[in-house]
Structure 1
Amino acid sequence: MAGARSTRASAAVDRLKRRTGVTSYSMARTGDGLFFLSEKPGAPPLCAPLELDEFVAFVNGLGPQEVKRVSKHDVEFEKQLVRKKP
């Protein structure tokens, strides 16, 4: 299961690299399985070692956020859902 954990954490770092254009971000794991992020390998960590969920939330919160594209059909569908609620 450790592989899936690392994959989820590294995917968050990859998304951060795409959002910021900074390709030098580096993720590392401690001996007890916690994750931390650095601006580049060997640089001081940007956060204390974190559990997987906390690490992913921290990384997702960094840099510019991706704007979710919403079509006019999505907007109309949301309006219909709101009207149907009791």
Structure 2
Amino acid sequence: MASARSTRASAAVDRLKRRTGNLAYSMARTADGLFFLSEAPGAPALNPPLELDDFVAFVNGLGPQEVRRISKNDEKFEKQLVRKKPAE
């Protein structure tokens, strides 16, 4: 389970690196399994040690956000979903 946790956290850091262009971001784990991020290995932490879900949310909120690209058909479908909400 520990490797899956680290994989999810490191994937979030990799996405941050792509979004910002800063390849020096570094993630570390504490002995009790909490995560923190720094701008470079050995640099001060940017956050207090966090649980996995909180860490991933923190990292995902940093830097420019990726714009979700949707096709015109997807856009029309989403509008239809909004119009067809069931009556209560």
Asked if residue 59 in structure 1 is aligned to residue 59 in structure 2, the reply is yes
After the TM superposition, which segments of 4 or more aligned residues of structure 1 sit over 3 Å from their partners? none
Which residue in the other structure is 1:22 paired with? 22
Shift of 1:54: 0.3
What SS does structure 2 have at the residue aligned with 1:66? coil
Q: 1:32-75, CA deviations, whole angstroms, 9 ceiling, x for partnerless residues?
A: 00000000011000000000000000000000000000111011
TM-score, normalised relative to structure 1: 0.97
Q: Distance in 2 between matches of 1:35 and 1:43?
A: 15
Shift of 1:18: 0.2
CA RMSD of aligned residues (A): 0.6
Count of residue pairs brought into register by the alignment: 86
Which residue in the other structure is 2:80 paired with? 80
**% identical aligned pairs:** 83
Q: Distance in 1 between matches of 2:11 and 2:52?
A: 12
Asked if residue 69 in structure 1 is aligned to residue 69 in structure 2, the reply is yes
